[in-house]
Structure 1
């Protein structure tokens, strides 16, 4: 107990003892004690009234004159308020500094409350998005940015990937939207101008497409003459015959690279919506297996199919066949003879997955993040032997992205590799006639499966 409280307790005790003694001496103990307690209550009431008046007027004013415990409480409240005000001022200074620094950014920064209304935005938001202060404050964001693609992106709440759209103010400006959820379903939206990057990317795509297209004509002429030389190889000197064969081999390789570059260019620049159809995955896997067995030839790979899913895929059959063939043919090319290659189509809690698995040499973990880059090779020296272009996995990645799917690669050096193509429910069409009930999971098992699959998709 603090000294001030001890002092007050002692003083009250003395008063009560003296009142009791006076009452004993006068022959009536109750009245003096009642008088003392009434006096003490009146003093407490006066203190409460003074405290109320002080708080009502201005607590920053000096505290009312008071002694003892009352003065101690006044000082205690006063110092506590001072500390609170200092803390609030520090927070206000931090908020002001953040707002000033955000206001100086060239990128738009927008704070959206839990109901979707605009809470705060910086200066760049006015030039990039057309917001006006203070009239737009509190307006719902989807009432101001009415592009259906933005509304779908905002309401879907799947913000792992940014969204690119033209500016609502100027069609010549391309913006990238990135939204983050924080607090109680509040959102922070960052918008940056990517017009220059967009133009450079478009220039790259146009350059690759145009150059690849222009190379086809001279390459066709070269191939024609090489085939003519090959027809008369018995009349050519042996040294020329060998050179002709090597030129034909490299010419075919160049033709394959050009074809793959043109395919990538088409995947990047065309829309899939006009190519939608229902695809029988089992039939496609059977066809790919037959082609892979022909490619395997003397290597005698064991190629198996497992189908644990009745769903078909909605999409482009040519594109998906190209993607799945790339995965299977890579397994045939890069695994030792008599290896086992498995194609598996199975349901998952959030969709379905097509897996291509082999028990070959495997890939070192440091290469996995870069496997889908164009022309990236784990072994720089084996391209001539396999005839690959270095574009296969890049094509697989782009095809899956066009089908709202994701590619996941797992591999352990010396134990083999797994390539998982994860498709969402929106891309699947289940056969009602012979629908097989998926496995029954308990609630904890289903939660674990969903968590594992979600982690994989990230």
Structure 2
């Protein structure tokens, strides 16, 4: 029989005995009350034993008892024992995690839901200057005060890492990556990429210097070739045969050098000084005329203006990015295709789009399209006259304008290139009297 049933039987028997004893004395109610009082005193004694056990040491053996109280003491003891085992396992797991994090070369910082410091490894002390005695419980932005980090932390968009100098040593370059987990808590990791940063600077300087040095000999070569082409009829046939091909390749080399120099400038120069409200209708119309000249009637190109607000940015850079997208559409779509240059609203602000109904691109290539010199079709691309740097230039221009590139395409379904600009980059038409107008 269950302890609860036993308890009911005991209570009933004691009440009956008390009532019988009271009846013999002529007061059955008083006897019943006395019986119930005795049982209540027993329960109070067991509660007192439970309190003393929990107050003294709940890990020790529970008080001896029978019936319902005995089962209760046993269950509490087994529950506490199970909880202690689970706690020991969690502590061991946490200790292993902390030991493994401590062995990492990268900084690891754990923040609570408010952004306050909870735990960090020794690498974080070295890279970020954190001190356990003073900084625990401080907000992360009180210690890493760079405005770029504060904006990155508050934006809650951690898809891309952030590169900044260390707050304790400006010669050390760190790459921050924040991950959300649990109840809106954050894990901040920082890698020391000083060596990679220096190698990247050396690469940029090398490309810029070599490209700059190549401009002069290419200019001289192009000048002589232009002269020779002018007098090609007077040259021996064997010499005149390759002049046009040489001139074509020289022009291609000049375009490549110009694109490399532009990329180097975009990477090194932060820009922003020349950002003004742009006359988007004029800009799109000029790009359309340039694209039509390149298409030579093979494609139909039109402009759609669906957004009245103007874009705050660099006229030359936005023009370069849009021209690269338009020229790519011209080069890689067959004759008779339609190309649309569009300025329209977007849920995040506004966007510039270049859309065509050409052959399209296999989605497997899309993640790599903005890499330098990446070719979807190497054989066909070499015949189009492109440098392989157009989309890389677009990517860097958009980064300098707080924007990003979206590409939607499938084989035989055309392609859509969308440059998405945030609402902070938009200016109302009526307040932009100083907008930049490109001269035709």
The CA deviation at 1:79 is 1.5
Partner of 2:435: none
Residue 116 of structure 1 aligns to a residue whose secondary structure is coil
From 400, 403, 414, the counterpart of 1:402:
400
Residues 24-423 of structure 1 aligned to structure 2 (within 5 Å) = 24=23, 27-299=26-298, 301-423=299-421
Contact 1:277/1:317 (CA < 8 Å) preserved in 2?
yes
Long gaps (5+) in structure 2: 433-440
The CA deviation at 1:23 is 4.7
Structure 2 length-normalised TM: 0.93
The CA deviation at 1:27 is 4.9
The CA deviation at 1:94 is 1.5
Contact 1:405/1:424 (CA < 8 Å) preserved in 2?
yes
Whole-Å Cα distance in 2 between the matches of residues 271 and 44 of structure 1? 79
Contact 1:272/1:315 (CA < 8 Å) preserved in 2?
no
Change (3 A) 1:8 1:411: same
**Deviations 1:8-41 (Å, cap 9, x if unpaired)?**
3233333334444445555543233222111101
Q: How many residues align?
A: 432
The CA deviation at 1:204 is 1.2
| Farther off after superposition, 395-404 or 3-12 | 3-12
The CA deviation at 1:356 is 0.8
Residue 242 of structure 2 aligns to a residue whose secondary structure is helix
Structure 1 length-normalised TM: 0.90
Residue 179 of structure 2 aligns to a residue whose secondary structure is strand
Residue 167 of structure 2 aligns to a residue whose secondary structure is coil
Whole-Å Cα distance in 2 between the matches of residues 236 and 403 of structure 1? 52
Whole-Å Cα distance in 1 between the matches of residues 371 and 301 of structure 2? 27
Residue 111 of structure 1 aligns to a residue whose secondary structure is strand
**Deviations 1:148-182 (Å, cap 9, x if unpaired)?**
22222223333222111111222211011112233
Residue 375 of structure 1 aligns to a residue whose secondary structure is coil
Contact 1:341/1:357 (CA < 8 Å) preserved in 2?
yes
Residue 282 of structure 1 aligns to a residue whose secondary structure is helix
Long gaps (5+) in structure 1: 435-458
How much is the aligned-residue C-alpha RMSD, in angstroms? 1.9
Partner of 2:430: 432
Partner of 1:449: none
